[in-house]
Chains A and B, each alone.
Chain A
Amino acid sequence: MNIAIFYGTETGNAEMLADDLSTALDEAHETSVSNLSDTAPDALRTADLNIILCSSYGDGDLPASAQPFADRLEAQSPDLGGVRFAIFGLGDREYHATFGSGSMKLADSLIRRGATLIGERVVHDAASGDLPEDMALPWAEDIIAASHHG
């Protein structure tokens, strides 16, 4: 399967996770890794499945590298019908009022443009002590398996 991995990050943790996920999936799939800041909404049309990794920042805002992508979604209002995406959030439950808000806002924005969310949006908690890749890899494999059958 052709899988495009995108990340939205402030401190680089989502970028590292994107690299790890790409390495792990690379044997069985074609993968690419891109920063959302360099991504046009239409680029989501290319791959069979888009996997988006996105943190939150500030007061539950989108991270800096996802903001330009979200702005382009807003400005261009593209029809993303047929685009399939899964989204994984990176959050910190010390800030629980806004935990995982960044990935939620981005998912809502894509769904409003007609894109289809595959699987569930989950959010890793940086304060939990668990490693994000230990959560993201099984999550991604489940989604890939489900989308084969779908």
Chain B
Amino acid sequence: MTGKVAIVGAGPSGCYTAQALLKAAPGLEVDVIDALPVPYGLVRYGVAADHQGTKAVSRQFDRIFTRMGGQFFGNLRIGADVSLTDLCGAYDAVVLAAGLSADRPLGLPGDDLPGIIGSARLTRALYEHPDAGPLPDLGAHPVIIGTGNVAIDILRLLVKTPEELAGSDLGPGPSDWLSRQRVERITIVGRSPATAARFDPAMIRELATLSRINASIQPPAQGGAGVEGLLATLAETTSGPLPVEFRFQTTPTAVRRGPGGLLLDVTTPNGAETLSASALLTAIGFASDQALTGEQVADCYHTGWFANGPTGALPRCREEAQALAARILRELAPDPRRPGRRLLQDVPGTVDFAHWQAIDAHEKAVAAPERCRRKLAQRADLLTLPTLQDV
């Protein structure tokens, strides 16, 4: 089968879609476009720096471009460098898999106060995204709002010792920042009861292996199966120097300025309460950055978080991408007059997959002994092809 498909977003959903399309129809022209100069989206910038095993899916994605005939167009922002209208006119099908890069706000009085830091903003800085801002000081008692895996990722990085980060790709800047923090205790706040927390059980088990953690659960967790039982075990078996309190059934109602930080008003089964926080880290989901708008959006296929909101990890991305690819192949009406990638080839500043391979090799070659990679953090560096002389 022939035909031209453009995929906007080279993160896991976009790559799984390209993979499924090319596996089923090797004759397709599949182009994967990303606003960043490097591919793989949240695999590079969202999966935690110490979860390198999870990042191994990028080896599958490499093959889209090295063996399956897919082309990567990096540093090309749809809506700015090329309009979505032009893209839709040039391809037989366009897939929007652009993810969700903004933080969902708390939606409470005071949710715009300084000292409130969204997890997207924080993890972009931690994982050296080229558009990241500086890492903020967290003070002695940060409070994390959220009971999903992003909250656990942030917690785990704050609790780990430098030795426990060995083998990760946490950069020198973020590693220095972590070692400068003087966190004395951490509170995790969630509305749901412990039984309904969306933590991955494996990630709770992982917390129990950390040397500094001393976990406690409010209201006290019952034993038994599932996440609540694992949390009860976590509380029983950890006794390190850093108190980490999980507060379930605790619903934030307002944020106020307080002495030396913020005050978080909450309601609990025992009534209203106010928690003090030196910083408030929100990990309650992501929202669109509104970069892709206009009537053309509705004419495109959508997948991943861009389509469904910020739930589901790699397996769900893959499952949905495979279903979408099957649907595209059923509906595709190829028109040979459409220019396809000829539209993109002359756009100034775009980079290709060979460019990424050079960056990838460079980043691995210059890694410190206790790190597996040293990311180029600045967009200008990601756009300059590293040469072996730089190593």
**Closest residue of B by beta carbon distance from A63:** B315
Asked if B60 and A57 make an inter-chain contact with CB atoms under 8 angstroms apart, the answer reads no
Max count, chain B CB within 10 A of own CB: residue among A59, A98, A131: A59
* Residues of chain B with a CB closer than 8 A to A95's CB: 202, 205-206
Pick the contact of B315: A10, A59, A92 (CB < 8 A): A10
Beta-carbon contacts of A66-104 to B below 8 Å, as 1s and 0s?
Answer: 000000000000000000000000001111111000000
- Assess whether A114 is interfacial by the CB under 8 Å rule: no
Asked if A96 and B372 make an inter-chain contact with CB atoms under 8 angstroms apart, the answer reads no
* Residues of chain A with a CB closer than 8 A to B201's CB: 58-59
The distance from the CB of B202 to the nearest CB of chain A, in whole angstroms, is: 4
Known interface pairs A95-B202, A98-B205; A12-B56 also in contact (CB < 8 Å): no
* Residues of chain A with a CB closer than 8 A to B315's CB: 10-11, 57, 64
* Residues of chain B with a CB closer than 8 A to A116's CB: none
Would you call the interface of chain B mostly helix, strand, loop, or mixed? helix
Known interface pairs A58-B200, A58-B201, A59-B202; A94-B53 also in contact (CB < 8 Å): yes
* Residues of chain A with a CB closer than 8 A to B63's CB: 16
- Assess whether A129 is interfacial by the CB under 8 Å rule: yes
* Residues of chain B with a CB closer than 8 A to A12's CB: 16, 19, 57, 60, 318
- Report the separation of the CA atoms of residues A94 and B47 in the bound assembly, to the nearest whole angstrom: 13
Asked if A11 and B53 make an inter-chain contact with CB atoms under 8 angstroms apart, the answer reads no
Known interface pairs A13-B60, A127-B167, A129-B372; A98-B202 also in contact (CB < 8 Å): yes
The distance from the CB of A42 to the nearest CB of chain B, in whole angstroms, is: 26
- Assess whether A24 is interfacial by the CB under 8 Å rule: no
- Report the separation of the CA atoms of residues A58 and B206 in the bound assembly, to the nearest whole angstrom: 12
The distance from the CB of A63 to the nearest CB of chain B, in whole angstroms, is: 8
The distance from the CB of A26 to the nearest CB of chain B, in whole angstroms, is: 16
**Closest residue of B by beta carbon distance from A64:** B315
Known interface pairs A95-B205, A97-B205; A126-B56 also in contact (CB < 8 Å): yes
Beta-carbon contacts of B286-320 to A below 8 Å, as 1s and 0s?
Answer: 00000000000000000000000000001100110
* Residues of chain A with a CB closer than 8 A to B56's CB: 13, 126
**Closest residue of B by beta carbon distance from A97:** B205
- Report the separation of the CA atoms of residues A11 and B51 in the bound assembly, to the nearest whole angstrom: 15
Pick the contact of A94: B16, B206, B319 (CB < 8 A): B206
- Report the separation of the CA atoms of residues A59 and B372 in the bound assembly, to the nearest whole angstrom: 26
Pick the contact of A11: B205, B209, B314, B372 (CB < 8 A): B314
- Assess whether B50 is interfacial by the CB under 8 Å rule: yes
Asked if B53 and A126 make an inter-chain contact with CB atoms under 8 angstroms apart, the answer reads yes
Max count, chain B CB within 10 A of own CB: residue among A94, A95, A96, A98: A94
* Residues of chain B with a CB closer than 8 A to A10's CB: 314-315, 318
Pick the contact of B50: A94, A97, A98 (CB < 8 A): A94
**Closest residue of B by beta carbon distance from A12:** B60
The distance from the CB of B10 to the nearest CB of chain A, in whole angstroms, is: 16
Known interface pairs A10-B314, A12-B318; A127-B59 also in contact (CB < 8 Å): no
* Residues of chain A with a CB closer than 8 A to B71's CB: none
**Closest residue of B by beta carbon distance from A133:** B59
* Residues of chain B with a CB closer than 8 A to A127's CB: 51-53, 167
List residues of B (23-68) whose CB comes within 8 Å of A's CBs: 50-54, 56-57, 59-60, 63
Max count, chain A CB within 10 A of own CB: residue among B19, B209, B315: B315
Beyond A13-B57, A95-B202, 18 additional pairs, beta carbon < 8 A? A10-B314, A11-B314, A12-B19, A12-B60, A13-B59, A16-B60, A57-B315, A58-B200, A58-B202, A59-B201, A59-B205, A94-B50, A94-B53, A96-B209, A126-B52, A126-B54, A126-B56, A127-B167
Which A residues are closer than 8 A to B by beta carbons? 10-13, 16, 57-60, 64, 92-98, 125-127, 129, 131
Which B residues are closer than 8 A to A by beta carbons? 16, 19, 50-54, 56-57, 59-60, 63, 167, 200-202, 205-206, 209, 314-315, 318-319, 372
Q: List 22 A-B contacts (CB under 8 A).
A: A10-B314, A10-B318, A11-B57, A12-B57, A13-B57, A16-B63, A58-B200, A58-B202, A59-B200, A59-B201, A59-B205, A64-B315, A92-B53, A94-B51, A94-B206, A95-B202, A95-B205, A95-B206, A97-B202, A98-B202, A125-B53, A127-B167
Q: Please provide the 6 A-B residue pairs with the shortest distance between their CB atoms, ordered closest to farther.
A: A126-B53, A92-B53, A59-B201, A127-B53, A10-B315, A95-B202
